[in-house]
Amino acid sequence: MIQLIAFYLFAVVVIASGALTILSRNPVHSVLWLILAFFNAAGLMVLAGAEFIAMLLVIVYVGAVAVLFLFVVMMLDIDFAELRAGVMRYAAIGLALAVALVAEIIIAIGAWSAGGLQLGRRIAPIESDVPNIEAIGRLLYTRYLFIFEGAGLVLLVAMIGAIVLTYRQRSDVRPQNVSRQINRRSKDATRNMNPPVGQGVEL
Amino acid sequence: MTAFFQNTIGLPFGWAWFVATIVGILVIALPLMLAVAMIIYADRKIWAAMALRRGPNVVGPFGLLQSFADGLKVFLQETIIPSSANKVLFLIAPIITFTVALIVWAVVPFQLGVVLSNINVGLLYILAASSLGVYGIILAGWSSNSKYPFYSAIRAAAQMVSYEVSIGFVLVSLVLWAGTFNLSGIVDQQQGHVLGFLNGFGFNPLLFPMAVVFFISSLAETQRAPFDLTEAESELVAGYQTEYSSMSFALYWLGEYANVLLMCTLNATLFWGGYLPPFDWAPLYWVPGIIWLFAKILFFFFVFSWVKATVPRYRYDQLMRLGWKIFLPLSLTFVFLVSGYLMIARVGLPA
């Protein structure tokens, strides 16, 4: 009963916030709706028994990706008139994407009555007594090891690529030498001249 | 507790579970609010003592009721919403901070078997919930539509994301050793962990540096001094909460201290044995576990206050350097060392 209520609650909120993500006019609001959608999708995954994936979704997408997203969007100076002017230019691509998505939805609904999946013949049948994390770990580090490592490599290359592309050597700045700052003592910077009364200080 | 409502009162299982959970939440949240009020008082007293002042000493005996007087004052004030603020987000932001500070307590084990929700992914749940905490601050800064709160929000976002990275790696090395994400499981693993006598991962020489990194990161994560750049009063007025007043301000205040308490609890639970006594010696187990846990929490809270009273605020670039150039490589190295040691100790060298 409570599971059913929770499912419909999460599902409705996911769909509603997904719709509001594209409908809201303020980009910051869009990101916030997107975050709400992520969050409720995580709730759905908990209901489906995939608590590890749910937590990862929240940690990675809500906790890191969306924060950076929000960071960028908040600082953007968005000109709405210009944005709207560009709509017609991309109308064709948008329409193509929309048609593809509609087709997918129709096929998905068509598969509704096609009968159940043959769960017994899956590559990784679920053992109900093994915790989620362990099951994923076993699969990830045995059967899918090379794909997993490959994905890690791709991310590493992407990261290094981004750094190489944006890094520029600047000669006009004086970088801080932290160890020099820490080792600096007051006698390195100040002198007590203690001049007699009536005389100036020679520096 | 579910069984009690099911058998004694005769509710069907679903309702018994529901009522038991609500009661459990109240049993944790209400004393927590009281604890937050007292911990604010304690913080001010410790801080005052280190500055050779008296601290709050007027309201009630020894000033014990000071926090409640402050609460009443704040409650009776007018809630001011700036006319150019984004009203909905402006009001939601403190609620997020406060709620996030409360929900994490659901997985904290207070004693053997005393935990609201004993889930398998407890540690990940804590990480997930604490990563939500940054939204309360970012939204406050943005929706206030005022420049100092906005600066503060940007600082907070960068700071919390940076330190969560190193916290993540610290927890990875911890979980490698414990072999579970379940918090009660982690506490159980710490029993007699070092030499069969010391309870706590923190006594382990390979994990002690991680305990220190975790402690400092938890200072940064809760925006306490010396990492309180988000509310650096000499630069940003009061940071993200500049435009807040009355209860919306009080929610930040409570949420902040609830977060501090939570971080103290996590330090105690993850590295220093949680509800276990520090030594694995039978007479020490006669003291209830919750007393040990509270003693450890109070100890860490004292250290938090001590740091706040004595350490000057970091510069922003120093903060980022510490997070990315020192803690991240350090914690990565220790993930490598810990997993290497465990591989040799538990699996053995490859022939």
Digitized pLDDT (tens) for each residue of chain A, 203 residues in all: 777 888 889 889 999 999 988 888 778 888 889 888 998 998 888 887 778 888 888 888 888 888 888 877 777 766 666 666 667 778 888 899 999 999 998 888 877 766 665 555 566 666 667 777 888 888 888 888 899 999 999 999 999 999 999 988 888 888 778 888 888 888 888 877 778 887 776 66
| Minimal-distance CA residue of chain B relative to A73 | B142
Residue A195 lies inside a defined structural domain of this protein: no
Q: Which residues contact A19 (CB under 8 A, 6 or more apart)?
A: none
What is the spatial distance between Cα B336 and Cα B330, in angstroms, rounded to a whole number? 10
Predicted confidence at residue A97, as pLDDT, reads 92
Residue A49 lies inside a defined structural domain of this protein: yes
| Minimal-distance CA residue of chain A relative to B88 | A29
Q: Is the per-residue pLDDT at B339 higher than 80?
A: yes
Closest-CA distance of chain B to residue A173, Å: 15
How many structural domains does chain A have?
2
Is there a contact between B245 and B79 (Cβ–Cβ < 8 Å)? yes
Amino acid letter for position A67 = V
| β-bridge partners, B114 | B111
Is there a contact between B308 and B225 (Cβ–Cβ < 8 Å)? yes
What is the spatial distance between Cα A181 and Cα B315, in angstroms, rounded to a whole number? 13
Amino acid letter for position A191 = R
Predicted confidence at residue A147, as pLDDT, reads 92
Residue A65 lies inside a defined structural domain of this protein: yes
Partner-chain residue, chosen from A2, A35, A51, that has the shortest CB–CB distance to B121: A51
What is the spatial distance between Cα B99 and Cα B94, in angstroms, rounded to a whole number? 9
Cα radius of gyration (chain A): 29
Residues B15, B18, B22, B28, CA torsion sign: positive
Q: Which residues contact B5 (CB under 8 A, 6 or more apart)?
A: B11, B15, B16, B17, B19, B20
One-character DSSP codes across B85-152: S-HHHHHHHHHHHHHHHHHGGGG---BTTB-S---TTHHHHHHHHHHHHHHHHHHHHHHTT-HHHHHH
In chain B, where are the structural domains located?
Answer: 1-64, 77-347
| β-bridge partners, B279 | B198
Residue A96 lies inside a defined structural domain of this protein: no
Predicted confidence at residue B17, as pLDDT, reads 79
pLDDT tens digit sequence for B168-212:
889 888 888 888 888 888 888 888 777 777 788 878 888 888 889
What is the spatial distance between Cα B345 and Cα A81, in angstroms, rounded to a whole number? 65
Cβ–Cβ of B139/A59 closer than 8 Å?
A: no
Predicted confidence at residue B101, as pLDDT, reads 86
Partner-chain residue, chosen from A51, A63, A133, that has the shortest CB–CB distance to B131: A63
Cβ–Cβ of B142/A74 closer than 8 Å?
A: yes
Measured CA distances, A27 to A22, A73, A74, A80 (Å): 9, 7, 8, 10
Residues A135, A138, A140, A143, CA torsion sign: negative
Predicted confidence at residue A32, as pLDDT, reads 87
What is the spatial distance between Cα A87 and Cα A80, in angstroms, rounded to a whole number? 11
Amino acid letter for position B315 = R
Structure tokens at A108: 């998905």
Structure tokens at A10: 């999460």
Provide the Cα torsion A9, A14, A18, A24; round to 10°: 40
> Where are the extended beta strands (E) located within chain A?
none
DSSP B278: S
Q: Is the per-residue pLDDT at B303 higher than 60?
A: yes
Residue A30 lies inside a defined structural domain of this protein: yes
Residue A198 lies inside a defined structural domain of this protein: no
Tell me the average pLDDT of chain A.
Answer: 82
Predicted confidence at residue B351, as pLDDT, reads 60
In terms of Cβ atoms closer than 10 Å to its own Cβ (0-12, 13-18, 19+), residue B212 is: middle
Question: Residue A53 sits in which domain range?
Answer: 8-77
Provide the Cα torsion B2, B4, B10, B11; round to 10°: -20
**Predicted confidence band of residue B126 (pLDDT cuts 50, 70, 90):** confident
Question: Any idea which of B162-171, B238-247, B257-266 has the lowest mean pLDDT?
Answer: B238-247
Percent pLDDT > 90 in chain B is: 3
Residue A38 lies inside a defined structural domain of this protein: yes
Tell me the average pLDDT of chain B.
Answer: 84
Nearest by Cα to B296 from B263, B268, B262: B268
Partner-chain residue, chosen from A28, A62, A75, that has the shortest CB–CB distance to B132: A62
Cβ–Cβ of B142/A28 closer than 8 Å?
A: yes
DSSP B204: S
Residue A67 lies inside a defined structural domain of this protein: yes
Predicted confidence at residue A118, as pLDDT, reads 59
Residue among B135, B145, B154, B167 with most chain A CBs within 10 A, to mutate: B135
| Minimal-distance CA residue of chain A relative to B92 | A32
Measured CA distances, A129 to B48, B124, B223 (Å): 54, 20, 41
> pTM, whole model, 2 decimals?
0.82
Mean pLDDT, residues B50-63:
85
Q: What's A35's domain CATH number?
A: 1.20.120.1200
